[in-house]
Structure 1
């Protein structure tokens, strides 16, 4: 998916792909593109679906976006290898982002698997992570997030089980898609000469789709299915997730289980919002089965790939200067050598802020009183401080005993925020929908501004995009 090229309310009436201010991946240096220009949406009838610079539509009821991404990616790799060309593929699945859309057979495979509930799932996953060495055994699991009932007190347990079963089915479908691309590499005997990196973009999502309120604006999602049925929006037992005419999410309870053992969720800068899996594979170069605990940032991926391939990062494109890489190569860590990031990592997202320097993490949750301006270094009241080496699950706030360290990190954050153009939250130019105009802690309702679905679809060039040839995802 590509959030900057279209779909939001700011689209001008004369919008066209790659017009100034609305770049597609093609306008940002990619040679080919298959995907959506919008954010999360229907997997059966995705909006703003693009094949290179052509907006296309779906006209078959057996289409699924995850499968189509996988097929286009495999076709692109096959084409590149037939031409013996080096290639870069960025395969950005939307799964398992809401809505919960998956094949019936995959859902049935997992139906009943989650009847033990979210509390038992959190505990079992935490124990498994410790057993695998992914987590240190000294890191205690965080308490169940407030507002979540104990599983034994939850109603409609069979429906709640299907929520998570559908989520698991989405992940299995994604996994098959990754396998399709890897099989293509193996068929060409190219696996050993290809660097593969797999990661997620954020922690589990607690956003709740409420069918009887304006959270989110239902008009964004109720346009009909390919065969003309209206879409039923909401997390309610009367709507079993999975089919094309539904639009639901896993909600906060299962998101808390997905993020075990960490606190909070997507949108936040606590570990539950930012800690994601990262797996790298490069036979003969990266030793298998190793676990590295040093923190890195997504911006480090570019620097690592440039380092690994011996490429030269360009300074100009199209006559314009290119900003230098902000990341640091973690190739030594991948190769089993000692490595640590030299520069701090800093974040801001929707008013949530954080700084990571070595084992120390300073973090602030939006709405934490008094929540001063993000660039105000004069108060520690809105911040928490953790030693992540000792307390990865952020349970023991050390700020009262580490005021000098916290103040130094706050000043560093203030300098970074000013240099990066961080704006106070909420951004005045982005009005919040009704009921979302007050910042509160743990407001997990998805924020959706008024939107329209973009200009009319111009050309439907494909009958079934799964058989569209070698138009790749992005390369």
Structure 2
């Protein structure tokens, strides 16, 4: 909420579109209704956007408004109402090679890319469409159809917001800025995934085994992402993907709409600009000088160049002078139409890496590497990169990847604890503050009071696609360990006592496998082995006394609130993970965080 009067949305880098973890102003809330009644978070976000603007214009019509609308589209999971996905049945049946070529030709025809642009070569790992098995084709097509439906649905919701502004007679004088945040992602892997957390858990997708679940794609029972081949189509005509510094990672469409001040409607601008230029553009339009000192603290200078000069001067030369790039040791720099870029290999000396050189004014898709032809030009750009890196806090370079995530928690962080104690009823806990039980052994106990009629969820973590839940039903204690919809369920061999009692779950990791044991009054009363221990369980957090969002088990209907009294939940992590485990977990955390960017 910092910098805003109101907030409504999700805080995570991604969320389930049908069962989102919502925050309203500064507190968590449940979605107002479920997907059975037609809920989708993009529609909800636009509804709240309209409400906030309506409230502001009713109370202070003399004041302008600033709205920042951040949807989940088209980040994974690709989920949309069924009718939007079905619109695209068969639209991509020609396969990603032909669709990419057609998209490239359409871009040329519409003038979206320069007329001399060449289509970048196929990315490594992307097979020709005709070489795929029939099952891989079917799966990939369904994933791409869900992606397209998701985008179409988002477009419709943005249209609703624009129609509202038009009805309010505010559209012509409202500056609209619409953009994506990066290129298409590669987290779907070679095949695509039914549940993206398979990727984060290093579990390969079994395309043959999920053919009976194709109709789930795009709905609440999926958490999908597209394969490399369709991601490459999304980045046409460029190469590589999100997290790369080549065009496929950093080039994005930007739409600016301001009818009262931009006269040349529906036209293109080709000046080079960067994400850091948006804030200077808004400040320039509003004639606001950013302050250098706030409450006695020096402020970091705003880095960027206003784009306002392009609004009514389509052919003016770019006023942008220089732009540096860096990500995990990958480096790049743009200067006056020239771009130098290098791919870093973790652990390799930076000075030994080969840089590439492109003239973007003549080579939009970075097709022709000119490093050998213009070595002096390249050397100058490399030297400039080091200067810019020093100016903007990039140095020292740090090529750690997984090691940067999930290892050293800040003091006081809930994730740094060995024990967690909860006194319900409590609000839903987002993943950032949920107990860190992934990939480790733990003991969970619940002190409860109940009659023989009381039942419901004790704890729940995750979604119906992956997670775990512990509940009482028909006087039996039940634990469901849901590994990507493969449910491993243990039920107590004795009934749960009435009145006051203590029940528990012990989870013992044994290599990559695990053993789950149920405890009633300190006695084991049932156990099973699970074939795989999830390292990263879900981006959806933790509930006590209910399953507030996506139902993790098929055995009940959420929220299935516990009707008795839970006095206390205690979770104890049995031991610290080995260094090798920590490194593995950190790498998984890194992959998840990168997918959220």
Note if 1:50 corresponds to 2:23.
yes
Compare 170-179 and 51-60 and name the one that shifted more. Answer: 51-60
Aligned to 1:426: 400
Aligned to 1:204: 184
C-alpha separation in 2, matches of 1:348 and 1:255: 22
Q: Which has the larger radius of gyration?
A: 2
Aligned to 1:404: 376
Report the count of equivalent residues.
404
More strand by share: 2
C-alpha separation in 1, matches of 2:340 and 2:290: 32
Question: Which of 31, 35, 38 is the equivalent residue of 2:12?
Answer: 38
Q: Which stretches in structure 2 are left out of the alignment for 5+ residues?
A: 408-437, 440-534, 550-597
Aligned to 1:258: 234
Aligned to 1:248: 224
**8 Å CA contact retained: 2:194, 2:225:** no
Aligned to 2:577: none
C-alpha separation in 2, matches of 1:461 and 1:74: 26
What's the Cα RMSD here? 3.1
**8 Å CA contact retained: 2:15, 2:539:** no
Note if 1:164 corresponds to 2:139.
no
Aligned to 1:14: none
Question: Which of 99, 109, 112 is the equivalent residue of 1:131?
Answer: 109
1:327-346 counterparts in 2 under 5 A?
327-336=304-313, 338-346=316-324
C-alpha separation in 2, matches of 1:67 and 1:452: 21
Aligned to 2:130: 152
**8 Å CA contact retained: 1:112, 1:158:** no
Aligned to 2:278: 301
Aligned to 2:98: 120
Note if 1:72 corresponds to 2:48.
yes
| CA deviation after TM superposition for structure 1 residue 217, in Å | 2.9
Question: Which of 342, 357, 377 is the equivalent residue of 1:364?
Answer: 342
Note if 1:188 corresponds to 2:188.
no
| CA deviation after TM superposition for structure 1 residue 395, in Å | 1.6
Distance 1:42 1:397, change over 3 A: same
Give the TM-score, by structure 1 length. Answer: 0.78
1:263-289 alpha-carbon deviations (Å, 9 max, x no partner): 001111100111111111111311212
Give the TM-score, by structure 2 length. Answer: 0.63
Question: Which of 280, 287, 301 is the equivalent residue of 1:310?
Answer: 287
**8 Å CA contact retained: 2:321, 2:336:** no
Distance 1:449 1:303, change over 3 A: farther
SS of 2:77's partner is: coil
| CA deviation after TM superposition for structure 1 residue 210, in Å | 7.7
C-alpha separation in 2, matches of 1:306 and 1:262: 32
1:411-450 counterparts in 2 under 5 A?
411-419=383-391, 420-422=393-395, 423-427=397-401, 428-430=403-405
**8 Å CA contact retained: 1:372, 1:382:** no
C-alpha separation in 1, matches of 2:318 and 2:310: 8
1:210-238 alpha-carbon deviations (Å, 9 max, x no partner): 8699631389xxxxxxxxxxxxx987544
| CA deviation after TM superposition for structure 1 residue 57, in Å | 2.3
Note if 1:384 corresponds to 2:356.
yes
SS of 2:318's partner is: coil
